Amino acid sequence: MKILIVGGGGREHALCWKIVQDKRRPELYCAPGNAGTAELGVNLNIAAEDLDALAAWARREKPELTVIGPEAPLCAGLTDRLQTEGLRVFGPSRAAAQLEGSKVFAKSVLLAAGVPTAQAQTFTDAEQALAYVRAAASPLVIKADGLAAGKGVLICSTQREAEEAVREVMVRQAFGTAGRQILVEEFLEGEEVSMLAFVDGRRAVLLPSAQDHKRALDDDQGPNTGGMGAYSPAPMETGKFRQMILEKIFNPTLAELNRRGITYQGVLYAGLMVTASGPKVLEFNCRFGDPETQAVLPRLAGDLLPILEACINKNLLPEQVACRPAACVCVVMAAGGYPGQYRKGDVISGLKEATALDGTIVFQAGTKLDGERVVTSGGRVLGVTALGPTLAQSAEKAYRAVERIAFANAHFRRDIAAKGMKRKPQMKSAG
């Protein structure tokens, strides 16, 4: 069975790692992949955003399944393009991917569906937006409507910061066309949690919960990043919590999309804020999260391919998504300076020594092969991941593995999962 994985980060390495274990022993191709995916399949010299080249390769090679990792090709319509070639694709259509591609569209779906979310106003004129933030209570959240590589959400503590954010996004166009339209939202207080679900068009089946760590430094300090680590399960997860998320968030959202003639098939990621009045949606992503995937997929029992195929075939069943009663912690090792300027091409040592530890996996992200050597090629370089009976044991193993790995100016947080360990988990298994 020939499978194409689109993308080249830690999420795609995790997908390859899980899929290659399938009893059918699939033949994997990854575009463009990284040094880690090269150990599991064949890397293709095709960028994830190069839809023409991807479609040409798929037309020629006819993979039995294509799994699309990043948001950009999904929002650009790669699923639709491959489906017109008669190919089977795991990933939402361009219309469905608007849930991530347009925050204004996502907000309209949430409000129409009656899903709890932050109050917000939409603006296409900078002066009108400035007048609004001057009259509104702080703090506020300014969101660029379109894709902005995870950087288009600005939390503003004061009116002055909110005004500056509006100018940065709409006037100076810091995020290009993504900032032509913005949302100005109320700031929600609480604890964040990531909930992912497999979706077959009408039914959603939840994966285990996770918590991400966005800030670059310990104790949630420093600039926002793509994610410095994640752990699963989140401490607030219970069977009752999961049922509430399904009934109040995922099911109404899918019903509203169907009412609009949009069928969502793939993974739907809900970033939630658990407030004093209950969970509210911060954002939707139309794909597996990164690094949440690295903390969630190792907990998934059984093969992944049958679940992906069930989503495509519109016959997904809850019993297909079973979870191991283990905890999982992923610690991201980043290049020094990330998320700002960072160096590339530094040799990475200790990968074999780290993976020799029981229950430990090193998912590669910003890496490439330089002859026989693995070298850095991105900001988030590795996702050092460990499974254990508890969060504390998983974290201890992950950090033991981190100590075995070295590259110049490596940076990582030392408090991944600390928040979860302070609170007694309500359950061991989400399955």
* String of DSSP letters for 209-233: -BEE--EEEGGGEEEE-S-SEEEES
Q: Is the per-residue pLDDT at 429 higher than 50?
A: no
The answer to whether 285 and 271 are in contact (CB under 8 A) is: yes
The CATH class given to the 125-180 domain equals alpha beta
How far does Cα 86 stand from its chain's mean position? 28
Lowest mean pLDDT: which of 111-120, 221-230, 422-431?
422-431
Q: Is the per-residue pLDDT at 321 higher than 60?
A: yes
Question: Does the model's pTM come out above 0.85?
Answer: yes
Task: Name the average pLDDT for the chain.
Answer: 95
> What is the pLDDT, as a whole number, of residue 223?
86
Residue 351, classed as helix, strand or coil, is helix
Confidence class for position 423, pLDDT limits 50, 70, 90 = confident
Q: Is the per-residue pLDDT at 428 higher than 60?
A: no
Could you tell me which residues come within 8 angstroms of residue 152 by beta carbon, excluding any fewer than 6 positions away? 143, 144, 146, 169, 175, 178, 179
Rounded mean pLDDT of 105-114?
A: 97
Q: Is the per-residue pLDDT at 97 higher than 70?
A: yes
Q: Is the per-residue pLDDT at 398 higher than 70?
A: yes
The answer to whether 332 and 411 are in contact (CB under 8 A) is: no
The answer to whether 212 and 194 are in contact (CB under 8 A) is: yes
* Tokens representing residue 360 in the block: 């430990």
Specify which residues 71 forms β-bridges with.
Answer: none
Name the DSSP class of 196. Answer: E
Percent of the chain with pLDDT over 70: 98
Q: Please state at what angle helix 251-259 crosses helix 103-113, rounded to 10 degrees.
A: 100
Instruction: Spell out the alpha helix ranges (H) of 267-417.
Output: 292-296, 305-313, 351-355, 391-403
Q: What's the CA gap between 256 and 108, in Å, rounded?
A: 10
Rounded mean pLDDT of 53-61?
A: 98
> What is the pLDDT, as a whole number, of residue 427?
39
- Domain 191-422 sits in which CATH superfamily? ATP-grasp fold, B domain (3.30.470.20)
Q: pLDDT tens digits for 367-379?
A: 999 999 999 999 9
Percent of the chain with pLDDT over 90: 94
> What is the pLDDT, as a whole number, of residue 148?
86
Q: Does domain 2-94 have CATH number 3.40.50.20?
A: yes
> What is the pLDDT, as a whole number, of residue 149?
76
Q: What's the CA gap between 212 and 308, in Å, rounded?
A: 24
Q: pLDDT tens digits for 137-165?
A: 999 999 999 998 777 889 999 999 999 99
Could you tell me which residues come within 8 angstroms of residue 346 by beta carbon, excluding any fewer than 6 positions away? 335, 375, 376, 407, 408, 409
Q: Is the per-residue pLDDT at 271 higher than 90?
A: yes
The answer to whether 100 and 147 are in contact (CB under 8 A) is: yes
Rounded mean pLDDT of 28-47?
A: 98
> What is the pLDDT, as a whole number, of residue 425?
46
Residue 255, classed as helix, strand or coil, is helix
Q: Is the per-residue pLDDT at 430 higher than 50?
A: no
Query: Apex CA 18: angle with CA 14 and CA 21, to 5°?
Result: 145
Domain boundaries defined on the chain: 2-94, 125-180, 191-422
Name the DSSP class of 425. Answer: -
Q: Is the per-residue pLDDT at 24 higher than 90?
A: yes
The answer to whether 151 and 119 are in contact (CB under 8 A) is: no
DSSP string covering 154-178: EEESSHHHHHHHHIIIIIS-TTGGG
The answer to whether 114 and 141 are in contact (CB under 8 A) is: no
Rounded mean pLDDT of 302-325?
A: 96
Rounded mean pLDDT of 104-117?
A: 97
Phi, psi for residue 108 in degrees, rounded to 5: -65, -35
> What is the pLDDT, as a whole number, of residue 299?
97
Instruction: Spell out the alpha helix ranges (H) of 45-167.
Output: 51-61, 71-75, 78-84, 98-101, 103-113, 126-135, 159-166
Name the residue among 258, 225, 287 with its Cα closest to residue 69.
Answer: 287
> What is the pLDDT, as a whole number, of residue 424?
54
Confidence class for position 81, pLDDT limits 50, 70, 90 = very high
How far does Cα 340 stand from its chain's mean position? 20
The answer to whether 179 and 170 are in contact (CB under 8 A) is: yes
Confidence class for position 410, pLDDT limits 50, 70, 90 = very high
